[in-house]
């Protein structure tokens, strides 16, 4: 749908993340002095990708306790999505609403024919129709660019790597092959691997957020509508953040159009979302190029 070379960039990033998982398997093999663990972690990686591929939509919708809605319940939402889907020549996704006043939205599903768009009750109350078009265009472009599958797999692999790293760190303190001279090296790899996977996941997510913003502006022809929506969402999510300690919500956070947790400080450096001021500035620049400013 665009010329951002997303496929190549994402393939490189995803390949690196799979490599990190293989490296942590190697670390476990060193720690326990048993090469069998390399194959175990290779299987875990493949199984995680396969499961996420087929269930990414169900996992995300369930994590937000979202419920399906009909055209009679949310006629405005349906009308906007139908118009944008038709303009893009793509099938209409399923629509859901999440029962939270935190204003946000996300799309999920492995391809356009198995996609769903979820809006929170908060965003439906916060934004006007023009701003909602910008947001929904953004989410639909994630679907059309196959971003949802990539992001879901990256998040799943990052979660696996983090869990393994935590387990191995615990094992290093209370068990393991203490006489193995390679154990220290294996433990160091296990400690650093979750950090590396988090940085890679952040890079994947940030790249795709910028591109979805640009593509949404092209689809709707109104970059400033999305810029206005992002400004409101930034303040709305700081005022009504989701709970970052809820692991189900945390796994879906990277898919949302705005960071659902309260921002600020060093946490922004490791956020899966680009700084909001950068996104807005890019959209304003795009508007000038389209003579819409």
Is residue 233 within 8 A of residue 258, CB to CB? The reply is yes
209 is known as an active-site residue: no
The 3-state DSSP class for residue 285 equals helix
Opening angle at CA 228, ends 225 and 229, nearest 5: 85
Which contacts (CB < 8 Å, 24+ apart) does range 175-181 have?
A: 176/31, 176/32, 177/31, 177/32, 177/33, 180/30, 180/31, 180/32, 180/33
- For 21, the token pair is 């998982």
Question: Among 278, 150, 277, 145, which residue's Cα sits nearest to residue 204?
Answer: 150
Radius of gyration for the alpha carbons in the chain, expressed in angstroms and rounded: 20
Q: What are phi and psi of 94, to 5 degrees?
A: -75, 150
d(CA 157, CA 255): 15
Is residue 130 within 8 A of residue 226, CB to CB? The reply is no
Catalytic residue, chosen from 131, 139, 209, 214, is 139
Residues assigned a catalytic role = 139
């Amino acid at each position: 749908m665009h010329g951002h070379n997303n496929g190549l960039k994402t393939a490189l990033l995803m390949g690196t993340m799979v490599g990190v998982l293989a490296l942590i398997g190697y670390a476990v093999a060193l720690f326990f002095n048993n090469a069998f663990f390399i194959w175990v972690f290779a299987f875990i990686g493949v199984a995680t990708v396969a499961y996420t591929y087929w269930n990414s939509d169900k996992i995300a919708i369930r994590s937000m306790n979202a419920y399906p809605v009909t055209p009679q319940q949310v006629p405005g939402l349906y009308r906007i999505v139908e118009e944008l889907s038709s303009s893009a020549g793509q099938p209409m996704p399923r629509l859901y609403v999440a029962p939270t006043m935190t204003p946000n939205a996300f799309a999920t599903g492995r391809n356009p024919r198995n996609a769903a768009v979820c809006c929170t009750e908060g965003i439906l109350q916060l934004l006007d129709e023009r701003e909602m078009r910008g947001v929904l265009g953004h989410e639909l472009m994630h679907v059309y660019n196959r971003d949802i599958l990539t992001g879901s797999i990256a998040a799943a692999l990052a979660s696996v790597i983090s869990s393994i790293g935590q387990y191995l760190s615990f094992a290093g303190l209370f068990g393991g092959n203490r006489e193995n001279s390679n154990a220290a090296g294996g433990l160091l790899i296990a400690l650093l691997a979750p950090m590396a996977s988090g940085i890679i996941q952040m890079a994947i997510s940030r790249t795709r957020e910028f591109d979805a913003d640009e593509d949404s502006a092209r689809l709707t022809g109104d970059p400033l509508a999305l810029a206005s929506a992002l400004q409101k969402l930034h303040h709305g999510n700081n005022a009504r953040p989701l709970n970052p300690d809820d692991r189900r919500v945390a796994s879906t956070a990277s898919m949302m159009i705005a960071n659902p947790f309260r921002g600020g400080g060093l946490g922004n450096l490791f956020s899966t979302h680009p700084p909001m001021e950068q996104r807005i500035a890019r959209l304003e620049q795009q508007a000038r190029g389209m003579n819409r400013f």
